[in-house]
Amino acid sequence: MHSLLPNNSSQLLIGGKLVAGGNGVFETVNPATEEVIGTAANANGADMDTAIAAARTAFDNTDWSRDHAFRAHCIDQLRTALQARVEELRAITVAEAGAPIMLTSGPQLEGPIADLDFAARLAESYKWETDLGVASPMGIATHRSLRREAVGVVGAITPWNFPHQINFAKLGFALAAGNTVVLKPAPDTPWCAAAVGSIIAEHTDIPPGVINIVTSDDHGLGAQLTSDPRVDMVTFTGSTATGRAVMANAATTVKKTFLELGGKSAFLVLDDADLAKAVGFAGFSVCVHAGQGCALNTRLVVPRARYDEAVQIAAATLGGITPGDPTNPGTICGPLISDRQRARVERYLQIARDEGGRIVVGGGRPADKDRGFFIDPTVIADIDNTATVAREEIFGPVLSVIAHDGDDDAIRIANDSPYGLSGEVWSNDPDRIRHVTDRVRTGTIAVNGGIWYSADAPFGGYKQSGIGREMGVAGFEEYLETKLVATSQ
């Protein structure tokens, strides 16, 4: 697989050209081995300024925003070109993001590429203009037409955990809506974005400046992108703390802002559910990609009368999952992205101990690994919903088990959080399920293992989990403005 990796430094994509970074290069590291696998172009502020200018020019001086059929053609071209290079992209994703290779056939790579088709078809089929008919406000007969138009230049800032899924969700829908884009990917996964930039430049008809990809280890470039008055909208996925900073920067020029932020989602098991099946499912899910998913259910909320049994099942499930080499097809729990992230998880595990939590299984680094940023899948018991690990996002393979005293108490626990991104409920009673799903304040909620992720389904959160929706028609419309044209008769 490693033979498919780039053999030199990646480049920026600015104004349709692949160029070096003004700050030279920075290293990209394989989190499973701690080895430097190469370098990425390191942009500076001047590079970001040039990228924003290119996006502004492409939006203002071309027909990109008005030629819906051409945009669909370009997105289709991009999808086809990505599929032709999928093995190279797979190697990069596994080596750079530490993503288990089994996930690259789904949400880590092939799924998001295929999802570009939905965005392309929206560009073709969306009703861009609606006739509101004639009315006579203030006695003046007026014909009204409602138009939907692109916002303009979109600044996109993306994280490292699911780089392709999030990059393509933003690029596909923003482009389909007629916008131009400056993408600033996470410094932990620059190759995932830069490889797409080279494909765009070499294999598509996307006009110069429509997509600009700026890799850098300087987080200040994200602040520059969000505050620049030439940028009309910011779309950001990442932590809630960073989201607040993005929102504050964007406010200086009153930009439209989409935020998909953190989560502390609850997995509610009602007393009529199959406890072994439900808890086993929850335990397995929280270990996928080493728990590095904002919508993973990290609070397991179970009936108090069966608490000890649930803890045992959770411990058996997580204890049976061994962190491993992401290139192995059987691995579901690979490494954490960095030593910094592992230290963060370890700090939370120590906080759990200090607050009286019991580490039932896991709680540290695997004894059989002296390289790689691995952490053992961990179950924390004997806490309630006031514990730090029940309230703050950890972003690791850590499951906190909390007792509830009935359906309404389970709902209370689920909602007793600053977040509201996702959740799940298991029960055999449709009425009780409806009671729960009606009252849990989250943007998505699964029932008995249902899958909410899909290109045609909107994703986003309540409360401090974000503003707006990504994907689906609702996500597409985030990238549109509304214009009313009134013509006297």
User: What is the gyration radius of the CA atoms in the chain, in angstroms?
Assistant: 23
Per-residue pLDDT band at 152 (split at 50, 70, 90): very high
Residue 397 shares a structural domain with residue 413: yes
Using CA atoms, how far apart are residues 66 and 69, in angstroms rounded to an integer?
9
Residue 74 shares a structural domain with residue 158: yes
Q: Is the pLDDT of residue 8 over 80?
A: no
Determine contact, residues 333/290, Cβ cutoff 8 Å. Answer: yes
Q: What angle do CA 248, 223, 256 make, to 5 degrees?
A: 50
Q: What is the mean pLDDT of residues 211-231?
A: 97
CATH number of the domain encompassing residue 372: 3.40.309.10
Q: Is the pLDDT of residue 3 over 80?
A: no
Residue 403 shares a structural domain with residue 471: no
Q: Over the chain, what is the mean pLDDT?
A: 97
The 10s digit of each residue's pLDDT in 99-116 is: 999 999 999 999 999 999
Is 260 an active-site residue?
Answer: yes
Residue 394 falls inside a structural domain: yes
Using CA atoms, how far apart are residues 177 and 184, in angstroms rounded to an integer?
19
Residue 210 falls inside a structural domain: yes
Using CA atoms, how far apart are residues 22 and 477, in angstroms rounded to an integer?
35
Residue 332 shares a structural domain with residue 312: yes
The 10s digit of each residue's pLDDT in 247-284 is: 999 999 999 999 999 999 999 999 999 999 999 999 99
Residue 452 falls inside a structural domain: no
Tokens of 12: 């920026």
Residue 257 shares a structural domain with residue 275: no
Q: Is the pLDDT of residue 7 over 80?
A: no
Q: Which long-range contacts (CB under 8 A, 24 or more apart) does 77-81 make?
A: 77/203, 77/204, 77/205, 77/206, 78/116, 78/199, 78/200, 78/203, 78/204, 78/206, 79/113, 79/114, 79/116, 79/117, 79/120, 81/199, 81/200, 81/203, 81/204
Q: What is the mean pLDDT of residues 151-169?
A: 98
Residue 105: closest CA among 87, 92, 84, 121: 87
pLDDT for 1: 45
The 10s digit of each residue's pLDDT in 83-98 is: 999 999 999 999 999 9
Residue 298 falls inside a structural domain: yes
Residue 188 shares a structural domain with residue 175: yes
Separation in Å, CA 371 to CA 32, 324, 328, 362, 394 = 7, 11, 16, 18, 22
Tokens of 32: 């499973």
Tokens of 138: 């203030």
Question: Which backbone phi and psi does 366 adopt, to 5 degrees?
Answer: -60, 135
Residue 285 shares a structural domain with residue 407: yes
The 10s digit of each residue's pLDDT in 290-303 is: 999 999 999 999 99
Using CA atoms, how far apart are residues 340 and 372, in angstroms rounded to an integer?
12
The 10s digit of each residue's pLDDT in 328-365 is: 999 999 999 999 999 999 999 999 999 999 999 999 99
Using CA atoms, how far apart are residues 369 and 324, in angstroms rounded to an integer?
9
Using CA atoms, how far apart are residues 192 and 117, in angstroms rounded to an integer?
20
Q: Is the pLDDT of residue 433 over 90?
A: yes
Determine contact, residues 179/152, Cβ cutoff 8 Å. Answer: yes
Determine contact, residues 161/185, Cβ cutoff 8 Å. Answer: no
Residue 204 shares a structural domain with residue 90: yes
Q: Is the pLDDT of residue 2 over 80?
A: no
Which distant-in-sequence residues (6+ apart) come within 8 Å of 159 by Cβ?
Answer: 166, 186, 237, 238
pLDDT for 6: 62
Residue 66 shares a structural domain with residue 104: yes
Residue 238: closest CA among 182, 161, 173: 161
Q: Spot the catalytic one: 88, 96, 110, 260.
A: 260
Percent of the chain at pLDDT > 70 equals 98
CATH number of the domain encompassing residue 224: 3.40.605.10
Q: Domain tally for the chain? A: 2
pLDDT for 127: 97
Residue 276 falls inside a structural domain: yes
Residue 247 shares a structural domain with residue 286: no
Kind and range of the H or E element at 473? Answer: helix 472-477
- C-alpha neighbours within 13 Å on the C-beta side of residue 476: 24
Q: Is the pLDDT of residue 454 over 90?
A: yes
Chain centre to alpha carbon of residue 4? 26
Residue 3 falls inside a structural domain: no
Residue 218 shares a structural domain with residue 283: no
Kind and range of the H or E element at 477? Answer: helix 472-477
SS3 state of residue 272: coil
Residue 456 falls inside a structural domain: no
Percent of the chain at pLDDT > 90 equals 98
Q: Which residues form the domain of 143? A: 9-261+466-488
Residue 17 shares a structural domain with residue 148: yes
Q: What is the mean pLDDT of residues 223-232?
A: 98
Predicted TM-score of the model (pTM)? 0.96
Using CA atoms, how far apart are residues 417 and 240, in angstroms rounded to an integer?
13
Residue 479 falls inside a structural domain: yes
**φ/ψ bin of 358: left (φ > 0), alpha (ψ from -120 to 50), beta (otherwise):** beta
Using CA atoms, how far apart are residues 468 and 474, in angstroms rounded to an integer?
8
- Pinpoint the alpha helices (H) of 85-219: 86-97, 110-125, 163-176, 190-203
